[in-house]
A and B are shown apart, each in its own frame.
Chain A
Amino acid sequence: MQFDVQKPQPGRLLVRLEGVLDRNAVPSIRKKLLSAIRKNVSEGGVVSLDLSRAPEMDTAGVALLVEALESVSGCHSKLRLTGLSEKAGRLIRLTRLEQVFGLKDASQSPE
């Protein structure tokens, strides 16, 4: 599991995660990820978490996303999830966090 951080424009932070976001991987990146977000996020800005290269996650991954959300909203910024796989989306809906992450209605997911 790894990630990189970019600042494409002022007030915007782009974090790309790559790998499996599960209970084995989360401990190794958590601190670095959360502090990178805290350090680089700007008041009232937007943090995008690009998950297109992290299609697999478990609830440890979901919990890490919740922690990321907490550190972002502490700075009155917004968190946006992009590139969410269908599978990860289903997990987030199962955990009833779709509203928290601003996902679309569950009825729109296939099946």
Chain B
Amino acid sequence: MSDSPFIALQKLNSYYGSRQILHEIECTIPRRKITVIMGISGCGKSTLLRHLIGLKPTEAGEMSIEGKDVGTFDESDMRAYRMRMGVLFQGGALFNSLTVAQNVATPLKVHTRLADSTIAIMAAIKLHLVGLTGAADRMPSQLSGGMRKRAGLARALAMDPEILFVDEPSSGLDPITAAGLDDLILELRETLGMTIVVVTHELESAFRIADQMIVMDAGKILVAGAPEEIKSNRDPRVVQFLERRADERRTEDESYMASLLGGRKVECEIEE
């Protein structure tokens, strides 16, 4: 059982309205490992994460958690799954009317019968882990973007999750704070055996922390494997992604021209 994956996806397709975002996604999230999901902006990383955390429904047969089809989950199965996970959303998603410490304490207040003083200590522990001890009594509006991210991570850790999902933990952080966050993620896996899924743009951070990598492109998995396998992959699109010669810009230019010209394609040559 301990070798079987925590989560398995089989041919997951995902839509917003009639627009298909994810195509036949197949991957596994191994236990007690760090899985990093990468890919250019808009390729569907956060959408994939929404499925993994059960926020976006999956059809029967598409996703299983510990071997059990999520399509057959009833409300209490889903609630039980949610109690085992911590999530840091891309925007941080703090409650603006609560202090940082109250934000971290909220899941514990809602989901446990722990005494307030116990909860306060647990919240202080989590804030210390992310280096925000001094900001406990501040309001989210008084935090920098990076501090908000870290407060969100402290809240994601409030319930001592078995599985942690983090969307872009280090975007907006200075390199030193970002490296500190990488260290914390590694430490959580090493000392607690936490299963961790990280979505990130930061290649350096990705290669530092990943046990397994999933590189996405336009709603599909381009390649998945150990960091060394990704590094030595010769697929031009993987190479291009790793070398950052993003063709994001080129497709954007194309659709920009199309929008200017009402969808007409034009060929033009410049005469010398």
Contacts and interface: CB of A to CB of B under 8 A. Distances in A.
Same complex origin of A and B: yes
B32 to A, nearest CB: 13
A63 B118 contact: yes
Nearest to A23: B112
Contacts, number: 57
B160 A93 contact: no
B121 A63 contact: yes
A88 B187 CA distance: 15
B190 interface: yes
Interface centre among B187, B191, B192 (most CB of A within 10 A): B191
Interface in A1-41: 22-24, 26-27, 30-31
Interface stretch (B11-19, B125-133, B136-144, B215-223): B125-133
A111 B190 CA distance: 9
A60 B192 contact: no
B121 to A, nearest CB: 4
A95 B133 CA distance: 12
A67 interface: yes
> Top 10 nearest A-B pairs by Cβ distance?
A63-B121, A27-B113, A58-B160, A90-B191, A63-B118, A94-B191, A63-B122, A95-B125, A23-B112, A59-B122
Contact of B128 (A23, A26, A96): A96
Interface centre among A23, A90, A93 (most CB of B within 10 A): A23
Interface in A93-111: 93-97, 111
Contacts of A30: 115, 118
Nearest to A109: B191
A73 to B, nearest CB: 14
27 contacts: A22-B160, A23-B159, A23-B160, A24-B112, A26-B114, A27-B112, A30-B115, A31-B115, A58-B160, A59-B122, A59-B125, A59-B160, A60-B118, A60-B122, A63-B118, A63-B122, A63-B125, A67-B118, A90-B192, A91-B191, A94-B187, A94-B188, A94-B191, A95-B125, A96-B128, A96-B129, A97-B125
Could you tell me the dominant secondary structure of chain B's interface residues? helix
Interface in A64-81: 64, 66-67
Nearest to A96: B128
B108 interface: yes
A2 B9 CA distance: 41
A103 to B, nearest CB: 14
A62 interface: yes
A66 B114 contact: no
A104 to B, nearest CB: 16
B117 interface: yes
Nearest to B184: A94
A90 to B, nearest CB: 4
A93 to B, nearest CB: 7
B34 to A, nearest CB: 16
Contacts of A93: 191
Given A26-B114, A27-B115, A91 B192 contact: yes
A91 B128 CA distance: 14
A91 B129 CA distance: 12
Contacts of B191: 90-91, 93-94
A22 B112 CA distance: 11
Interface string A51-62: 000000011101
A96 B188 CA distance: 13
Interface string B98-126: 00000000001000111101110110011
